[in-house]
Amino acid sequence: MNTPSHVLISCAAVGSSPARRLWPALIGGALPDTPIYLFYAYEKLILRAPELRIWRLDYFSSPIQPVLDALHSFPLILIVLGIALAVRNDLLKWLSLSLLLHACADFPLHHEDAHRQFFPFSDYRFESPVSYWDPRHHGLWGVGMELVVTVFAMAVLLRRHRTAPVRAAWAALWLFNLVPFLYWG
């Protein structure tokens, strides 16, 4: 699933809540994918690597893989959530719940690029038959599901947030969400 989709879904999922829940949801929606953006910027801007090399070779052998796996790890996220509940830290609780939602949403939509979601306890990767992007693995279905869910999330967010600047920010994020589909399409 694309990062903007994760952010929209996380922010919609926090319910009609104060802003103190919104920021952890926004961060938790984006954080697990942030190393990918840093990796891509380094590969493209510093190393000037071609796209095919970046995504077919370098990505899979990159030192960011354990970081990505940790940020998508069900056990590690649940441990952090348990700590948040034990110490009654709402910020950490909502961040953990958002990270968990991100990992759950990615689980059924990654094939060759699947994460080790039980890291560090297992190297198992669930290679879903459906990819969120790869047409060789029902990517059209993955894209369709993602767009339907984000349209629903947008409806929730636009209903919840009534000021023009906030609505414009949600709309801009949703439009940014379309960039990869237009790029790959």
pLDDT digits (tens, 9 = 90+) for 114-168: 999 999 999 999 999 988 878 888 877 878 888 889 999 999 999 888 888 888 9
Mean pLDDT, residues 91-115 taken together? 94
More confident residue, 182 or 168: 168
Q: Does position 185 have pLDDT exceeding 70, yes or no?
A: no
Whole-number Cα distances in Å, 127 to 84, 109, 114, 120: 31, 9, 6, 18
pLDDT digits (tens, 9 = 90+) for 58-100: 999 999 999 999 999 999 999 999 999 999 999 999 999 999 9
Instruction: Check residue 61 and give its pLDDT.
Output: 94
What angle, 0 to 180 degrees and rounded to 10, lies between the N-to-C axes of helices 164-184 and 139-160? 170
Helices (H), 31-163: 34-41, 51-53, 59-61, 65-71, 74-87, 90-106, 139-160
Q: Are 1 and 109 in contact (CB under 8 A)?
A: yes
pLDDT digits (tens, 9 = 90+) for 13-44: 986 666 778 899 999 999 999 999 999 999 99
Give the whole-angstrom CA distance, residue 128 versus residue 174. Answer: 25
pTM, entire model: 0.89
Instruction: Check residue 16 and give its pLDDT.
Output: 64
Residues near 2 by beta carbon (within 8 Å), at least 6 away in sequence: 132, 146, 177, 180
Give the whole-angstrom CA distance, residue 92 versus residue 87. Answer: 10
